[in-house]
Structure formats: C-alpha cells, structure tokens
Structure 1
Amino acid sequence: MTHHDLSRRHLGRWAAAAALSPWLASCGGSDDAGGTDPREADYVKAVESLFTDYHAPGILAGVRRAGETLWMKAFGLGDVAGAVPMALNSTFPIRSITKSFTVTLLLQLVQAGRVGLDHKIERYLAGVPNGHLISLADLAGNQSGLADYSAQPGFFQVFVEDPLHIWTSQELVDFSFAVQPGFLPGEQYQYSNTNTVLLGMVVEAVTGQPLADVLGERIFKPLGLAGTRYPASADLPSPTPTPYAVNVVTGALDEQPLISPTSLAGSGAMASTLADLLVWGEALGLGSLLDPALQGLRKSLARDVTNGPEYDRYGLGIGQIGQWWGHTGSGVGFQIATMNLASRNVTVSVMVNASPEGSRRDFNLAQELFERLAAVVEAV
C-alpha cells in the first residue's frame, strides 16, 4: 500500500541539504559491518548518488555474497529533527515484503500436502466473490480479480482518521468483497493487498494457529531471523527510524504517522532488520525453505506486471527485476527491497525511512538504490 495523500502529522520541514549534512559521518564506527569488500567504494558511491538525486533522510544498505565478507552500512539520519544518525540495527516495517513470507508459508503447506495451489478459496473461506473460481495460485500470483481493500474509500477514511485503528483481517477483506471483481481469475495481473490478506487467513484456517506463530515456527526460527516479527501494534524495538514523506525534487520532509500493522495483515504487517532481510532475500531467491520443483514453479508462473511495484514479472509472492528475484515494500514513510541473483548467490537489501510524496508517490527509493547496487555487482 502506498501512502496516497494520507493526512500527515506535520511536524515541520527541513531543507535536505542542511539536514542531511552529517550523513557521511554515520558510515563508519560501530555501524560499519563491512570494510573489506573491494567493491565498497562503488557501493558507497551508489548510495551517495541516491542522496544527491532524491534526498532520502536515511538509508541502510547491504550486500551478501556467498563465501565473501558481508557488507552493511548505515547512512544519513534515523531522525532528522534530533539529528540522530541511522543505526545499522534499526527495525523497519517492511510493508509488502510481508507478502513473500505469507506466500512462502502457503507453499510450505502445499509441499506438506495440506493445501493445493489449484484449490479454490471457497474451500477455506466463505463469502469471497468468485470464491468457487479463484484458486490459491490466483491469489499468490495477483490474478484473482479481487479489488484491493486498501484502495476502497471506506477503508481509507478510517485509516486516515485513525492510522492506529485495530483491524481484523475479515474487516479488511470485507471492503474488497463489497466491490465487483475486476475480471475473472487468471485473465489478468492486478496487484492487490486483498490477495495476501486472504492467504494469511487460509494459513490460519489450515494450521489452527495465528499467522504470527506460524511465521515464527516455519520461517523465523529455521532461518535464525531474531530481528524479524509479525507485530500486533506499531510499537517496535528501539532503534526504529522516524518515517518521512519526501519531496524528491526539493528535499522537503514531512514526518509520517505510525500505522497499525493490522491495517496490512498478511499483505504488509511485518518488521525486520537489514541483517535479517539479507538472510531472507537469499532464502527467498534460492528457495531454501522449499523443494526445488516448487521453487521453480513459483518463478515459472510469473507474468508481466501491469500495476503495483515496478517488477518486470511477478510469480507466486516473488518479483523479478532483470535476473534478480525477491520483493519490495513501500508505504507511509518506509521503503524496502531485498533481491537475490541466484546465478552468483548475491543478495542486496536496502531500507529507506522515507516514501516519496506528490506526483512521485509510486516511486520506490529502495528499489532504485537496489538497481544501482545491482549494477555494481553485475559489473564485476
């Protein structure tokens, strides 16, 4: 979900050049987890170019190569008003990267024989428009035709007035169910948060456990993702950066409100750290939690993207940009990307505490920086 024109808690504006002048100082010291990668200078130049071009307040960036030194650095400010440097161990809401976790859980249940990708959603949940036609694969691949609940005026009105409002997943999808599906399942691609909220509900129905618990048991614990969580409230472990809307032309910043993760559920509720996202990006891209055949199917079902994040193609809870596979996230002051290049087993992860406003609100700063870092990786 993008931040649209969310009414903001306006706490002042700062000129980016002045406010971000201390950003370079935060590149070293205790926030430096690299220092020996021969490409480090080029990585730093890529980050510097994003500050210059788009005025991001703060950035975390990392590159994980099999058998090589892990490179991770913090840049800029976690809080502009207090001139607080971005901390390398910051916890970020990861927005739509949550989708890749939710769909991975679904595929694990497929692998265990507990659900089938061809099963229709009505088998698990009642009241879904075209529920007798929409398969779990349609939902995972954004081909269901169901309207995006987060784009409906009824949801958005409550969300703007009370960003911390507590929602049930059923309340979210009910906004979608009140709208006629845009097309029959499989006919088109249309990115919709409704799809993965429903899949999260399927996981809960099949396992009899809350989604948070299933994520912990099947993904967080096996991968050692100690800094990753599916929270019930907006409160996250410190340090958590302040979210901003940024005018990428002028550099003006507006602080954004915290939002209840329940407003995103299985489509975007999770939070994580840079170190954990580097691990997750590799697991997602290589399919380490799935059988090779199922991982291959996950990617082979990808189709061209016509809306939403700027992937080239989107498979089952995984997007493709060039030869890289992974996921991005964006909305209300945070943008994130974690992508893996399987042929070299390299993962790039980026976290930015800002999302563009105005005419560029659909632009993902993290994705842009990922592509610049990917170019460095591919040049060698």
Structure 2
Amino acid sequence: MRRTPSRRALAAALLVASALAPMTAIPATAVNVAVADRHDRDDEHQPGFDHKLTARLDAAIEKVRRQADIPGVAVGLWMPGKGSYVRATGVADTATGEPMTTDKFIRIGSETKTFTVTALLKLVDDGRIGLDDPISAYVHGVPNGHRITLRHLAEMRSGLFPYSSDADFVHDLLSDPSRSFTPDELLAYGFKHKNTAAPGKVFEYNNSNFVLLGLVIEKVTGHRLEDVIERRVLRPAHLHRTLFPEGAEFPDPHPRGYTNQTLSGEVADATDWNPSWAWAAGAMISDMHDLRRWAKIVATGELLSPETQAERLKTLPTGYPGTSYGLGIFESSGWIGHNGSIPGYENVTVHLPSQQATLVVMLNTDITYEGKEPSSLFARAITEIVTPNNVYDRPVPTR
C-alpha cells in the first residue's frame, strides 16, 4: 500500500474525509446487535443478475481493487426488476488474511451528514427552527454568525474556515488518534482563522458546518445529538445496525481499516481511532443492509414532509462538473446520496430514483489512488456497466 509524501498532503487529505482473495458471494448473517424486523430483509430475497452481468461486475470490481491496491471491498447493488449483486472481495485483515464479507460494520465517515441533516429537518417540520435562521440565534461566537444561516451550513456555503484545514488540528489528531475532541474544541481550530468567503457565495466542503448543525440540534431539543438521531431517525427508519458511537467502540464483525494519514506518511491500522474529531460530520457506524435501506429513505424523503424534502433536494453547483450539493446530500448523474471517508474506511451510499436502483460500496482503506478516492473509482466502474446513462462521478472532497 502507498504512503503519503508530506504533511501538506496529510492536511489536504483530512479535508477531502495486501493479500489478494477471490471474489465471493456471501449472504448477510446475524450480528451482535438487535435483529432487524423481518420485513426489512427483502434484500436477501431479490434474485441476482444473470451470469454474464455478474461476471462483468466481478471483473470490473476486482480490476479496480488490484489496481488501487485496496485490501477489501463489499458491494451491494439492487435494481428492482433486473436483479441484485451482493458480493465481497479481498481481505478484511491484511495480517491474518481473513476474507472481506458483506455482513460487516464499517465507519461511514461523511455519510453521517445525511443523518444529522435529517434530524435537523425533522425540527424544521416540527416548526421549531427555520432553515433561514442565523446560526447566531443558536450558537454564540461564530464568525459572521449573524449572516450565516442553517441553510448555508447544510449547503456547505457558510464561508467559515474548515477546522480540519488547521495545521494544529492535523498535528493534534495524528499525534494522538485515540484522543476525544469536544465540538467546541473542534470549532476553535477553525474560528481562529478569517472566513474564506461571504455566506452563500462559494461551495467549500467543511466539517465545521455540520458540527455547528449538531450543536443546533442539541440546543433546540435539550438532548445529545446521538440520542436525537437514535430516537428520531434510526428508530423510525428501522435501522437496527446503525449507531453513533460514544468513543472508539466498534461492534463486531468489522474489517481492519488502513490509512496513510499519519505524521510519518506510513500506512497504519486506524481501526480503533476515535472518530469524535468528526462528530456530527462523520462519526457514525453502519452496515450494508442498513445503508441499502437508508439510501432510498434519504433520496425519497420518507421521514420528512414533501415540502421539506424538496428543500433538501435543491442542489447547487459545486464547481466540480456533474456534481451538485443540496442540504447534506449530493446529486451525481441522477444518483442521490452521499459518500464518506474517515481514516481507514470509505463508502458510497446512493439511490437512483429513475430506476429505483440502490448502490452501496464499503472498503477498508481511505488511501487515494492517483489523487482519487477509491470508493468513487468502484462506484464509477459499477455504474458504467449497469447504468451507462447515469455514471456516478464524484470528484468532490468529502473528509
């Protein structure tokens, strides 16, 4: 696996967050958490694609995995009326050679943003907040906070300086990946810098925005963000294997995760790193079954009023061709959802409403290949085959 050449590259990578084994089809199995409702298990009964299409997908995925030197990847693709593809290839642990499987938990990084925004939009539906409220009404001390709205934050157009671009933050995190950060500590790294743009003017992917939205949810509800997401999002969505960890805990089974976001640039095992540094922007954990269900819920607005979902889907240009961003959600050639990257793990969870298709990609490294996030390489290769008129291409940094 590759190494990162410099600290500068490390800071950029934080902004944008093996042995070989044969391709195997492995059904989901019971895991050490509450079992999902029987009616949620429809993915296990959808017939697979025909042999020719399955073979093409096998070859494309394995080509990307070997080319980009990915330890292991699990892919789920469901297309009603056409079939499904649920397979894993490579290894979950490079030391033992344990094979990657489709039943494992994974750290989902920035896909957490879709849960945070859903909780926020539930409060909009309740009439307790407005998207055009200034952040200063809820959180004091935000630079230019009287002009920055909740909508600007969710759209990544606040103009705030991203805390993960701060050199002191990068050093503090990588010096002690087990450290627990508070939301206020995270924001302080960014607030010591001048804002980068006027509110609403420029798209800039920025975790500071979502840490602030998490604080808004806590302020309005009087409860911890983790508890609000559990009660108001995960339970109604019947997501029984998705969680917001208290610290570095990671339920079994899960793959080991590998990163080169280290002070030395050498590859390290980041499995047990504390994700508190990402909090409302990227700390959550899930699995393929839950992410498959969640992809459709996010894209269709099942938990929200039609009016609020319409606000969520008002995507704006990002400056990256083919990709637009709404309220904690992106659209890429018709695919709606989000991807995620956190040291050791990457994933893509998207839904294509025009074909009712859902794609979930999970892998156990975040090491880029020729400057590209490996999860995007897999998603593009897959969609080039199954939806050639809707090819996923997301060159937007997501860390």
TM-score (norm 2): 0.83
Distance 2:159 2:218 in 1: 23
Query: Structure 2 matches for 1:1-380, cutoff 5 A?
Result: 5=10, 16=18, 19-20=19-20, 22-24=21-23, 26-28=24-26, 36-38=48-50, 39-66=53-80, 70-245=84-259, 254-256=268-270, 258-300=272-314, 302-306=315-319, 312-357=323-368, 360=370, 362-379=371-388
1:13 corresponding residue in structure 2: none
Q: CA deviation at 1:68?
A: 6.6
CA contact (8 A) 2:26 2:101 kept: no
Q: Is the 8 A contact 1:152 1:175 kept in 2?
A: yes
How many residues are aligned here? Answer: 357
Q: 1:28 to 1:220 in 2, by over 3 A?
A: closer
The answer to whether the Cα contact below 8 Å between 2:323 and 2:331 also exists between their aligned partners in 1 is yes
Return the alpha-carbon distance in structure 1 between the equivalents of residues 218 and 26 of structure 2. 43
- 2:307 and 2:340 map into 1 onto residues whose CA distance is 27
Q: Which amino acid aligns with 2:316?
A: R
Query: Measured at CA, do residues 335 and 291 of structure 1 come closer, stay the same or move farther in structure 2, by a change above 3 Å?
Result: same
Conserved? CA contact 1:96–1:330, under 8 Å: yes
Query: Counterpart of 1:356 in 2: which secondary structure?
Result: coil
Corresponding residue number in structure 2 for 1:9: none
The verdict on how the C-alpha distance between 1:292 and 1:67 changes in structure 2, with shifts beyond 3 A counting, is: farther
Aligned residues of 1:23 and 1:77 also touching (Cα < 8 A): no
Tell me how far apart the structure 1 counterparts of residues 357 and 47 of structure 2 sit (CA, whole Å): 17
More divergent stretch after superposition (252-261 vs 112-121) = 252-261
Q: How many angstroms apart in 1 are the aligned matches of 2:72 and 2:327?
A: 31
Give the SS at the match of 1:88: coil
Opposite residue 346 of structure 1, the aligned amino acid is: A
Partner Cα separation in structure 1 for residue 179 and residue 326 of structure 2: 32
- Judged with a 3 Å threshold, the aligned counterparts in structure 2 of structure 1 residues 218 and 29 are, in CA distance, closer, same or farther, namely closer
Tell whether the 8 Å contact from 1:348 to 1:373 is kept in structure 2 after alignment.
no
CA contact (8 A) 1:55 1:246 kept: no
By how many angstroms is 1:377 displaced? Answer: 2.7
Q: Distance in 2 between matches of 1:226 and 1:355?
A: 26
Q: Which amino acid aligns with 1:364?
A: E
2:27–2:102 Cα contact (<8 Å) kept:
no
Q: Secondary structure at the match of 1:320?
A: strand
**Using the alignment, how far apart are the partners of 2:345 and 2:28 within structure 1?**
23
- The answer to whether the 8 Å contact 2:47/2:84 transfers is no
Matched-pair contact (CA < 8 Å) for 2:178–2:273: yes
How far did 1:158 drift? 1.2
Whether the 8 Å contact between 1:56 and 1:246 is mirrored in structure 2 is no
Judged with a 3 Å threshold, the aligned counterparts in structure 2 of structure 1 residues 55 and 222 are, in CA distance, closer, same or farther, namely same
Q: For the residues of structure 1 that align with 2:123 and 2:70, how far apart are their CA atoms?
A: 39
Gaps of 5+ in 2: 12-17, 30-42, 390-399
Percent identity over the alignment is: 33
Query: 1:137-171 deviations in whole A, cap 9, x for unaligned?
Result: 00000000111111112211210111010111111
Runs of 4+ in 1 over 6 A off after TM superposition: 29-32
| TM-score under structure 1 length normalisation | 0.87
Q: How many angstroms apart in 2 are the aligned matches of 1:366 and 1:55?
A: 12
Give the 3-state SS of the residue equivalent to 1:241 in structure 2.
coil
* Secondary structure, aligned partner of 1:347: strand
Query: Residue deviations 1:53-102, cap 9 Å, x none?
Result: 21211001101334675532222100011000112211111000111111
Check the 8 A contact 1:90/1:241 in 2, yes or no. yes
Q: 1:281 aligns to what SS in structure 2?
A: helix
Distance in 2 of aligned mates of 1:29 and 1:112: 40
Deviation at 1:374, TM superposition (A): 2.0
* 3-state SS in 2 of match to 1:96: helix
Q: What amino acid maps onto 2:364 in structure 1?
A: N
How far, CA to CA, are the matches of 1:30 and 1:122 in structure 2?
46
Distance 1:45 1:113 in 2: 50
Report which stretch shifted further, 125-134 or 279-288: 279-288
Alignment-mate amino acid for residue 353 of structure 1: N
SS in 2 for 1:71: strand
Describe the shift of the 1:35–1:343 C-alpha distance in structure 2 as closer, same or farther (beyond 3 A).
Answer: closer
